[in-house]
Amino acid sequence: MKRIYNDINLASRNSFGVSEKARMVVEFDSAEDLKEIFSAERPDKWYVLGAGNNTLFTQYYDGVIFNPKASSIAILGDDGEYVDLRVEAAYDWDSLVEWSVNNGLWGIENLSAIPSSVGAAPVQNIGAYGAEVKDAITTVEYFDTNKLEVVRLSNKECGFAYRESIFKQELRGVAIILAVEMRLCRTPRPNLGYGDVIKEVEARGGATLQNIREAICAIRGRKLPDPKVLGNAGSFFKNPIVERGVADRLIAEYPDMPYYAVPNDEEHIKLAAGWLIDRAGLKGYRDGNVGVHQNQALVLVNYGGATGGEVIALSKYVSQCVKEKFGVEISPEVNLL
């Protein structure tokens, strides 16, 4: 079944809460719905919107927005140690994390409280507190709008990297994700190496799934604004990956600057965009309806009534200030339409 809405305001469909309109929104339940639409007449411009947590509409969207609605969860296999799941795209990400924690299954607990749908999670390989969703995903199933058939990709074929996947590259404008398969496990494997996580977990009595989830929710709650209260899309910018020489120069000048190794890459270093924006003096900066969040400079917020254009103007200003002060380019993590 599909439901079609014409000339519709997207304010309630994006976590920034910006009031831009789209020519058409299509809510669909199955691959058959998509096959019907794409075989009748392929839309010239289209986009897939999950829960709308990582998309900024900067203007009227003169195209078709596909919004998956199927949200079942099924256990495909359980050998006593590993449990294989298949979860459809519209399932709420954090409800899945809660379900896994309640069922004693390890693997995605560090990804607690990330606002996302399950279908959107592999697109930018959501990650937090030393974990990335790629470490749990076994298969992604999508509708191929060129071949008009369902395709399954193995984890390796998804091309996962930091906030990256094939769905942002070759399959952008081709794939509509239908379901994600994951493997979780029963043997505890706490991953507490990032920042304050270990301290918060110990304060709660040790590394149980429940304590880890509570600790992560508490840390996130302190730093990241709740989109239901203050419109935002989490980190607006990616942490920039720069040549080692650039990092060395900055570390010499700013010895307190945080930086991280890039796995399997000696030549590059990852910097913290939040720190760069903060040290450019922009944390808490406000321009009319939009601003840089006061507790986490990576997050741009809508104080109410902002247009996408205002957010994008602020993001350009922030990038420009960081470039002028540090000579480093930061680019949006959020999808801009």
What is the total count of residues that contact ligand EPU (CB under 6 A)? Answer: 20
Query: Closest CB to ligand EPU among 240 and 308?
Result: 240
Tokens representing 267 are 């030549």
Cα distance between residue 257 and residue 251, in whole Å: 6
Catalytic residue, from 15, 112, 235, 319: name it: 235
Task: With beta carbons less than 8 A apart as the criterion, state whether 241 and 269 touch.
Answer: yes
128 in contact with ligand EPU (CB under 6 A):
yes
Give the one residue of 16, 61, 167, 275 binding ligand EPU; rule: CB under 6 A. Answer: 275
> Could you tell me which stretch among 21-29, 231-239, 243-251, 310-318 binds ligand EPU (CB under 6 A)?
231-239
Catalytic residue, from 20, 132, 214, 333: name it: 333
Is 163 one of the catalytic residues?
yes
Cα distance between residue 241 and residue 273, in whole Å: 10
**Residue 6: its H or E element:** strand 2-9
Cα distance between residue 181 and residue 153, in whole Å: 10
If you search the block for the tokens 């003096």, which residue do you land on? 281
Give the one residue of 27, 29, 164, 278 binding ligand EPU; rule: CB under 6 A. Answer: 278
Tokens representing 219 are 């840390």
Is 186 one of the catalytic residues?
no
Report which of 269, 281, 289, 288 is spatially closest to residue 318, judged by C-alpha positions. Answer: 281
Is 235 one of the catalytic residues?
yes
Segment 3 to 62, residues that bind ligand EPU, using CB under 6 A:
none
Burial class from Cβ neighbours inside 10 Å (0-12, 13-18, 19+) for residue 190 reads middle
Q: Which residues contact 108 (CB under 8 A, 6 or more apart)?
A: 96, 97, 100, 131, 133, 136, 182, 184
Report which of 89, 144, 151 is spatially closest to residue 121, judged by C-alpha positions. Answer: 89
| Dihedral of alpha carbons 199, 203, 209, 210, sign | negative
Report which of 164, 90, 96 is spatially closest to residue 126, judged by C-alpha positions. Answer: 164
Give the one residue of 239, 307, 315, 319 binding ligand EPU; rule: CB under 6 A. Answer: 239
182 in contact with ligand EPU (CB under 6 A):
no
235 in contact with ligand EPU (CB under 6 A):
yes
122 in contact with ligand EPU (CB under 6 A):
no
Catalytic residue, from 23, 86, 163, 186: name it: 163
> Could you tell me which stretch among 15-23, 78-86, 230-238, 318-326 binds ligand EPU (CB under 6 A)?
230-238
- Minimum Å gap between C-beta 194 and ligand EPU is 6
Q: Which residues contact 13 (CB under 8 A, 6 or more apart)?
A: 25, 49, 52, 65, 67
283 in contact with ligand EPU (CB under 6 A):
yes
Give the one residue of 238, 240, 269, 306 binding ligand EPU; rule: CB under 6 A. Answer: 238
Residue nearest to ligand EPU (CB): 234
Segment 289 to 308, residues that bind ligand EPU, using CB under 6 A:
296-298
98 in contact with ligand EPU (CB under 6 A):
no
- Minimum Å gap between C-beta 297 and ligand EPU is 3
Known catalytic residues are: 163, 235, 333
* Residues lying near ligand EPU in the complex (CB under 6 A): 128-129, 194-195, 223-224, 234-235, 238-239, 258, 272, 274-275, 278, 283, 296-298, 333
